[in-house]
Structure 1
Amino acid sequence: MTLKALIFDFDGLILDTETPDFIVLSEQYRRYGADLRPERWMHGLGTTDGYDPYGELESLTGVILDREALRREHRERYVALCAQQPLQPGVRELIVAARKRGIRLAVASSASREWVEGWLEHHRIRDSFHCVRTRSDGLRVKPAPDLFLSAAACLDVAPESCVVLEDSPNGMRAAEAAGMRCIAVPVALLDALPLPPHTLRLRSLADLPPEQLLDLLAREN
């Protein structure tokens, strides 16, 4: 099948909102004399309810936490750090190159529509995407395939003609379940950790010139 669509994850793929999350949680853990382990934290990426950081912190320390206070503190500092993040390297260039080829574009995220579209608008790329699908659409989140399948249907493209761009293991599992090829672009914190099946692994979308990457994906069909 011809490459007809690219479906982008959002958190960690378009914008690195994941490193700020790890930074803030790590600061909170250290306050209680504990360490946040990336191999545990990664289970919460790309999904909801995949990891309970404060439940784990209570287990590690034996301390009953004021979880609501910690969540409020986390949210305030987390959003401030996210606001300092530029688009991930290569994202804007790949969007431009794909649109020139007539490749349709979507975003599929387990986050809320308010969160995803707010940042897309902030970085002035919302209009580049033909479709955005989020958990706010009432779909099962990753690792279920629903978000990707709904995005493909919105684009009117068969799943086998779509390529997913993902950074999280849960997202990669969702792409496989949807019958789509997947480019894995994990954040640096996951560099040393094993990933689910994927078509191609990159350190960033800037590893290859966008035209070369699109040519490679076209040949992989």
Structure 2
Amino acid sequence: MIKALVFDFDGLILDTELSALQSWQEVYRAHKSELPLEKWALCIGSGFEAFDPYTYLEALLGRAILRDEIAAQISKRNIEMIETQAALPGIEDAIKAAKRLGLKIAVASSSPRSWVVGHLTRLGLHQEFDAMKFGDEVARKKPHPEIYLGALELLGIRADEAIALEDSPNGVLAAQRAGIFCVAIPNIVTGQLFLDHANLRLKSLADLPLEELIALVENKQAQKSQESLA
């Protein structure tokens, strides 16, 4: 029986993925270089441990860059592009439906707590969540399952009692490695990446009422359980 929803944040609740990619591509072009999506994809849903755009740019240029200056530029551009954005389609309705159904909800994000909580507060959603686990609170970020395992522990539920909502390949892997059924809901950036390993894929969380999604997941879980006994 499903008892909780576990949300990723970047690219799932708020479309920060496009602004992040565009901000970095602007920096690369200013240095007469290009940042391929396949390289950037390595750190989506994870972090710069998986792919460091500073180091990659330095390798392309053959010299050191002013990292602090670039970091400030990236931060400024990101804020400019996302500070007025609303939550992505279906997010607020799913949260309301989860509350109505008596489900717990959590955030499991590789981003720092300050980044996620700041945006959730602006969106008026921070107080809706029962638990939160962030990348600056664990030793290993996604695709390692530590963030999801931490969220499950905070919620006090088993992996088979949750549905994870993700937008990236790294996020899907992290949820599945924690034993959680994962629904991929890609954005304009991650929609170009390989997500066939997700248990289910939707174009938008608004595409399917939460009650129907839960029924679909529970049916798939029951079928898998029967197959394992056969």
TM-score (norm 1): 0.92
Residue of structure 2 equivalent to 1:25: 24
Q: Aligned partners of 1:81 and 1:184: how far apart in 2?
A: 24
The equivalences for 1:9-24 within 5 A come to: 9-24=8-23
SS where residue 206 of structure 1 aligns? helix
Deviation, 1:25, is 0.7
RMSD between aligned residues: 1.6
User: Does the 8 Å contact 2:159/2:180 carry over to 1?
Assistant: yes
Structure 1: distance between partners of 2:61 and 2:157: 50
When residues 140 and 54 of structure 1 are mapped into structure 2, their CA distance, relative to the original with a 3 A threshold, is closer
Between Structure 1 and Structure 2, the one with more helix by share is 2
Can you list the C-alpha shifts for 1:154-193, whole angstroms capped at 9, x where unaligned? 1111111111111121111111110111011122123232
CA contact (8 A) 2:138 2:146 kept: no
Q: Is the 8 A contact 2:138 2:147 kept in 1?
A: no
**In structure 2, how many angstroms separate the alpha carbons of the residues matched to 1:139 and 1:61?**
31
8 Å contact kept, 2:108–2:134: yes
What residue number does 1:184 align with? Answer: 184
Tell me the residue number matched to 1:197: 197
Moved more, 104-113 or 26-35: 26-35
Alignment of 1:68-79 (within 5 A): 68-79=68-79
Over the matched positions of the two proteins, sequence identity in percent amounts to: 38
Contact 1:173–1:196 (8 Å) recurs in 2 = no
Task: For residue 16 of structure 1, give the secondary structure of its aligned residue in structure 2.
Answer: coil
Q: Distance in 2 between matches of 1:186 and 1:149?
A: 22
SS of the residue aligned with 2:217? helix
For structure 1, which segment, 45-54 or 22-31, has the greater mean C-alpha deviation from structure 2 after superposition?
Answer: 45-54
* Residue 139 of structure 1: how far off its partner (Å): 4.6
Gaps (5+ residues) in structure 1? none
CA contact (8 A) 1:38 1:190 kept: no
Q: After the TM superposition, which segments of 4 or more aligned residues of structure 1 sit over 4 Å from their partners? A: none
Is 2:135 the partner of 1:135?
yes
Q: How many angstroms apart in 1 are the aligned matches of 2:191 and 2:171?
A: 16
TM-score by length of 2: 0.89
